[in-house]
Amino acid sequence: MKPPVTRSPRHTLALMVCVVLLGSMRARAQTDPLPSWNDGPAKKAIIEFVQATTDQSNPKFVPPAARIAAFDQDGTTWVEQPMYSQVVYCLEQVPVLAKKKPELKHVQPFKAVLDGDRAAMAKFTMKDLEKILAATLTGMDVEEFNASVKAWLASATDHRFKRLYTELIYQPMLEVMKLFRDHGYKTYFVTGGGQDFVRQYAEQVYGVPPEQVVGSAAATQFGYDKTGKPMLTKVPKLLLNDDKAGKPEGIHFMIGRRPVAAFGNSIGDKQMLEYTGAGDGARLMMLVHHDDAEREYAYGPTSKVGTFTDALMSEATKKGWIVISMKNDWKRMFAFEQ
């Protein structure tokens, strides 16, 4: 028979500390960083990439300064169907604009929007749309524009889901962005959407600060208001068309480093993924595929919004880009789902 173990109060305290520490370590190891993902190759690839590139003993290690992860926005981190949220904003701003400029009531394409003429709107050309975007996204003080977007986002809702646009965020992608950030990555948006538009909610909704939003952007013009106070006016001159080839160009311009990971969902993201993949060392390129008509939408080659062609699918296969099936890979789509 062994003698009973006697413990001093100090030993007991040390033991308690160890129990707590070990317990929290086990709890951490068991916490799934991507709880909205089903187990599968996509989830596995993300977790393995983040672990490998942040482990100094791993040959795939990426130094903290180079940890740049780029995310497309429309269709990759929030809903883009049936129409980009920013385009909805622009259309809904036309009546506001017409109050200031009543002459627009008689001018197309504004008249069609004001009359609610859906048949005419369905026939809008790219040029018509550009006229509406230019009229509603430029010509005002930057701060006036920002306030207008914020006010719209606080109340406008999507027709199908009856939710604020900022609630139509893919929970699985939020988790991916957080996982990257928790491992020292800077997460950037690289979006065809308007830079100033996205900046109004990116920080609050996604944790992406304004300086990490690369998007399509009109120039601004510095000047002074009537009181002599400096101001910036948005002018109808496109500085950056952040789509397709414009994405790597925008990345070089605004970040100046090649990302090591890039996430997209359409042919507009092809060049960004190619550019990301062309760098040395570990790389992760992924495409969100909209194949879940029940919970969201299913679309591909023939969709005007978020086109995903067969050629893009072939390139993904050939280059080892991982295609995320929203239907199979995502356990939960939105935070508001139970």
| Footprint of its own copies (CB under 8 A) | 65, 68, 142, 186, 195-196, 199, 203, 209-211, 213, 217, 219-223, 229-230, 232, 239-240, 245-246, 248-249, 252-257, 271, 274-275, 278
The answer to whether 168 and 79 have CB atoms below 8 angstroms apart is yes
Coil vs helix vs strand at 49: helix
Q: b or e along 105-128 (b: 16 or more beta carbons within 10 Å of the residue's beta carbon)? A: eeeebbebbbeeeeeebeebeeeb
- What's the CA gap between 73 and 206, in Å, rounded? 10
- Provide, rounded to whole angstroms, the least separation between the CB of residue 186 and its own copies: 8
Nearer to its own copies, 252 or 295 (CB): 252
Minimum Å gap between C-beta 199 and its own copies is 5
CB closer to its own copies out of 248 and 264? 248
CB of 244 to its own copies, least distance (A): 8
Q: What is the DSSP letter of 204?
A: I
Q: How far apart are CA 70 and CA 259, in angstroms?
A: 6
- C-beta closer to its own copies: residue 44 or 252: 252
Which pairing describes strands 230-240 and 213-224: parallel, antiparallel, or unpaired? antiparallel
Q: How far is the CB of 321 from its own copies (least distance, A)?
A: 14
Place of tokens 């679309």: 299
Residue closer to its own copies (CB basis): 23 or 63: 63
Least Å distance, CB 157 to its own copies, is 26
**Least gap, CB of 145 to its own copies (angstroms):** 11
Q: Which is nearer to its own copies, 35 or 320 (CB)?
A: 320
Q: What angle do CA 240, 245, 249 make, to 5 degrees?
A: 55
- Pick 111 or 257: Cβ nearer its own copies: 257
What whole-number distance in Å separates Cα of residue 60 and Cα of residue 80? 34
Q: How far is the CB of 275 from its own copies (least distance, A)?
A: 5
* Residue 25 vs 311, nearer CB to its own copies: 311
Number of Cα atoms under 13 Å in the Cβ half of residue 338: 0
**Residue 107 is which amino acid?**
V
Tell me how far CA of residue 31 lies from CA of 25, 27, 34, 35, 181, in angstroms. Answer: 10, 6, 9, 9, 16
CB of 245 within 8 A of CB of 230?
Answer: no
> CA-CA distance, 94 to 6, in Å (whole number)?
81
Residue nearer to its own copies on the CB measure, 134 or 298: 134
- Which residue's CB is nearer to its own copies, number 269 or number 296? 269
Distances from the Cα of 40 to the Cα of 43, 284, 329, 331, angstroms: 6, 16, 7, 11
CB 330 within 8 A of CB 36: yes
Least Å distance between CB 285 and its own copies? 12
In the complex, least distance from residue 134 CB atom to its own copies, rounded to whole angstroms = 18
